[in-house]
Amino acid sequence: MLKSVLLVTGILIGAIWALQAIPMPAYATSHEAKQQALIEAAKKEGVVNILATWPPKEANAIFEAFKKAYPFIKIRQTILSGREGFERIRAEFASGRRATDLINASFYDLEVAGMLQPWKDWFEIFPDTRKTGVHPSLTGSLEPSAVKGLMYRTDLAPRDLQPLTYAKLSDPRLSGGRIAFNFRQYYHYAHLYPKWSDEEIIRYAKEVLVPQKPKLCNGGAACWEMLVRGEVWAIPALQSHQYFGRYLPKGIVNIAMGADDAPVDEGKPILFLKDAPNSNAAKVFLHWATTGEVQEIFYKFRGRADPYDPNNIVGAWVKKHGAKLFDHPESEREGRSRELGAMVLRMLGLPVPKK
């Protein structure tokens, strides 16, 4: 009897070992099967329509890399920014004639309008996804972080004021248009919240920004052009990535960041629109955008890299100038930043953009 039991046990163990030795078929695991199903569905769609503001040099680098990875999906970009892009998407939703799948834009307005679609099983399908490259809401992927700091011209700002700080912007020599204010992204200055309290933000605007009579610039790109051309000497809460993507490569080195508080965003999102017409192809692009290869492209051509890392050029530059970094996750704080920014606009006598 004992021999029979041992014989049966041995046969069972041998059978288990034999099964383990049989190679698993392709896509046998759950997530691999889901990945293959997604890719097959994306092939049938064959296109992703994205609304973004990537200039040709940046866009070509991104799209060519994607083409190598997924040659069966074509990327079509429509270049619209800010309010114009939001209005385009709102018109699509209102008419029911949907064309756009993804948008590279601020999260807040689109989320409030109910236009975004979380990809809830993203990590089930791609469990190896670099989670820092995904928006916390699961509605999109993220370009690397950027820092907003007090940017100034080292050859124009008075030497005795350098390194420049927000407190030093009250100096009379900086009055009469030597400071600029970004009225399109009016909430960027208010991203100093919560490092600065509501009261501190409003008091600073009342006691420094308004009395200094700043010039106005319409968006980050226009602000950088004014600074580089020497039309202004300093700009508060200006994003750094355009400097590294567009101006430092041209040898422009007379720009510094103030030795003061500097908010770090989550990274500009590429957002997944609700009921996107090419949802599968859009998901393939979103996941691809989180990979290391693409993040490197975002740094090389978009100037975005981790400002906390002193081993990259952005982090080393921030550390050199003594900027005091702190996290400002826009998805959590954007609402309050816009409320405070709207107050500052009114103090400057400017209209608040309609939502």
Pick from 252, 260, 338: which is nearest to 303 by CA? 252
18 within domain boundaries: no
Let me know whether 194 and 51 are in one domain. Answer: no
79 within domain boundaries: yes
* pLDDT band per the 50, 70, 90 thresholds, residue 319: very high
Q: Can you tell me the distance from the alpha carbon of 272 to that of 140, in angstroms, rounded to the nearest whole number?
A: 5
277 contacts 101 by C-beta, under 8 angstroms: yes
Pairing of strands 269-272, 140-142: antiparallel
Beta bridge partners of 78: 51
Contacts (Cβ under 8 Å, ≥6 apart) of 249: none
116 within domain boundaries: yes
Let me know whether 280 and 215 are in one domain. Answer: no
Residues making up the chain, counted from first to last: 355
Let me know whether 173 and 192 are in one domain. Answer: yes
Pick from 115, 75, 82, 121: which is nearest to 98 by CA? 115
76 within domain boundaries: yes
Our separate counts of H helices and E strands in the chain read: 13, 12
Let me know whether 138 and 159 are in one domain. Answer: no
184 contacts 105 by C-beta, under 8 angstroms: no
Q: Can you tell me the distance from the alpha carbon of 209 to that of 111, in angstroms, rounded to the nearest whole number?
A: 31
292 within domain boundaries: yes
Q: Can you tell me the distance from the alpha carbon of 145 to that of 72, in angstroms, rounded to the nearest whole number?
A: 30
Q: Can you tell me the distance from the alpha carbon of 276 to that of 296, in angstroms, rounded to the nearest whole number?
A: 27
Let me know whether 282 and 186 are in one domain. Answer: no
Higher pLDDT, residue 16 or 85: 85
**φ, ψ dihedrals at 156, nearest 5°:** -115, -40
20 within domain boundaries: no
114: left (phi over 0), alpha (psi -120 to 50) or beta: left
Domain that holds residue 245: 148-266+309-347
Let me know whether 281 and 194 are in one domain. Answer: no
Q: Can you tell me the distance from the alpha carbon of 210 to that of 208, in angstroms, rounded to the nearest whole number?
A: 6
100 within domain boundaries: yes
Q: Chain centroid to CA 35: how far?
A: 25
pLDDT digits (tens, 9 = 90+) for 111-158: 999 999 999 999 999 999 999 899 999 999 999 888 999 999 999 999
Q: Can you tell me the distance from the alpha carbon of 215 to that of 330, in angstroms, rounded to the nearest whole number?
A: 26
Q: Can you tell me the distance from the alpha carbon of 15 to that of 245, in angstroms, rounded to the nearest whole number?
A: 60
Pick from 337, 332, 325: which is nearest to 146 by CA? 325
Neighbours of 19 (CB within 10 A): 8
Could you tell me the CATH number of the domain that includes residue 64? Answer: 3.40.190.10
Let me know whether 37 and 82 are in one domain. Answer: yes
* pLDDT band per the 50, 70, 90 thresholds, residue 355: low
Average pLDDT over residues 257-281: 95
pLDDT at residue 23 tops 70: no
pLDDT at residue 11 tops 50: no
Pick from 214, 203, 33: which is nearest to 124 by CA? 33
pLDDT at residue 166 tops 90: yes
Q: State the DSSP string of 122-183.
A: HHHH-TT--GGGB-TTSSEEEPPP-BEEEEEETTTS-GGGPSP-TGGGGSGGGTTTSBEEES
Percentage of residues in the chain with pLDDT exceeding 90?
A: 72
pLDDT at residue 170 tops 50: yes
Q: What is the pLDDT of residue 16?
A: 42
**Secondary structure percentages of the chain, helix, strand, coil, to 5:** 50, 15, 35
Q: Can you tell me the distance from the alpha carbon of 202 to that of 337, in angstroms, rounded to the nearest whole number?
A: 11
pLDDT at residue 243 tops 80: yes
Higher pLDDT, residue 11 or 294: 294
Let me know whether 194 and 325 are in one domain. Answer: yes
Let me know whether 74 and 220 are in one domain. Answer: no
- 3-state SS, residue 234: strand
pLDDT digits (tens, 9 = 90+) for 188-230: 999 999 999 999 999 999 999 999 999 999 999 999 999 999 9
Report the number of distinct structural domains present in the chain.
2
Let me know whether 217 and 165 are in one domain. Answer: yes
Q: Can you tell me the distance from the alpha carbon of 237 to that of 181, in angstroms, rounded to the nearest whole number?
A: 9
pLDDT at residue 4 tops 50: no
* pLDDT, the chain, mean: 89
Let me know whether 213 and 332 are in one domain. Answer: yes
Residue type, 82: G
Residue 160 burial (C-beta neighbours within 10 Å; 0-12, 13-18, 19+): exposed
Beta bridge partners of 247: none
Average pLDDT over residues 169-175: 97
340 within domain boundaries: yes
Q: What is the pLDDT of residue 9?
A: 44
Let me know whether 245 and 287 are in one domain. Answer: no
